[in-house]
Amino acid sequence: MHNEILTIGKITIHGYGLMIGIGFLVAVLVGMYRAKKKGMNQEAILDIAIYCILAGFLGGKLLYVIVEWKRFIDSPWAVLGSSGFVVYGGIITGVLTGYIYTRIKKISFVKYFDLVMPEIAIAQGFGRIGCFLAGCCYGRPTDSWLGVVFPPEALAPSGVKLLPTQLFMSAGDFLIALILILYSRKNKIDGNIGAGYLILYGVGRFGIEFLRNDSRGSVGVLSTSQFISLFIVAIGIGLVVWNVMRTRKQESVETKKKAK
């Protein structure tokens, strides 16, 4: 919960940025290792990681501006210069960027989508630790032994015990990555790993929003992220159904060819 990790002269290493960097590095290394085992292009993984993280930051900030539109109108530089991001904006623009890249390179989007999404969860897990160090994305006040009191310099309110929702989300992200990697060893339907990420993350994010207490916009009785989660989960379920139907159709065609 201390964001300033190390200061050397005028240079200060912040925990949030450090965790983002570590998460990116670990995700790339894991992705390249898994790509090699599957006989896929390791260079493509590095390219996708670089392009998608850049697009992800832009998308995350763009959606944050939309959520904080009234504050942005009053003080645009305060919003743009803040550390605020909306993860879903990053996920959406990151996936779109990956799709465009695979189309340009003429490689299978679905296969790389499956390969990359567990690593995205890993990167998010480290990023949420960074959130904890900075004090953003904090939870509701609590008397539980789980409560954490943030220091005055943190983004979270100080002097009161708060649920460490950042760590809950981090643990959830790492768990999603583990589940998807283990499932990928048995999965025979292309696209289901990526779809699984959308479902698991969407459900988890919808639930954790009930425990958060920071300002993040709303749509009716739902937070902005809960509202988006409904669509993300629906898309994930739709993709699973489509993937299964597509695979069965391909298998049927192949069976008919062999019968001839």
Type of residue at 82: S
* Residue 82's pLDDT band (cuts 50, 70, 90): low
The residue that leads in pLDDT, 153 or 103, is 103
Whether residue 134 contacts residue 177, with contact meaning beta carbons closer than 8 Å, is answered with no
Query: If you average pLDDT over each of 6-15, 22-31, 218-227, which comes out highest?
Result: 22-31
Percent of the chain with pLDDT over 90: 58
Q: Is the pLDDT of residue 3 over 80?
A: no
Q: Average the pLDDT over 17-32 and give the result.
A: 92
Q: Average the pLDDT over 27-51 and give the result.
A: 91
Task: Give the model confidence (pLDDT) of 197-248 as tens digits.
Answer: 999 999 999 999 999 998 777 888 999 899 999 999 999 999 999 999 988 8
How far apart (Å, rounded) are the C-alpha atoms in residues 38 and 202? 27
How far apart (Å, rounded) are the C-alpha atoms in residues 43 and 27? 14
Record the tokens describing residue 50, joined without a space: 């670089």
The residue with tokens 């779109």 is 96
The model's pTM is 0.88
- pLDDT of 251: 76
Q: Is the pLDDT of residue 7 over 80?
A: no
How far apart (Å, rounded) are the C-alpha atoms in residues 89 and 64? 8
- pLDDT of 256: 72
Task: Give the model confidence (pLDDT) of 107-118 as tens digits.
Answer: 999 999 999 999
Q: Average the pLDDT over 67-81 and give the result.
A: 75
* One-character DSSP codes across the chain: ---EEEEETTEEEEHHHHHHHHHHHHHHHHHHHHHHHTT--HHHHHHHHHHHHHHHHHHHHHHHHHHTHHHHHH-HHHHHTSS---HHHHHHHHHHHHHHHHHHHT--HHHHHHHHHHHHHHHHHHHHHHHHHHT-S-B-B--STT-BPBPTTSSSPBSS-B--HHHHHHHHHHHHHHHHHHHHTT--STTHHHHHHHHHHHHHHHHHGGGB-S---EETTEEHHHHHHHHHHHHHHHHHHHHHHHHHHHHHHHHHHHH-
The residue that leads in pLDDT, 53 or 206, is 206
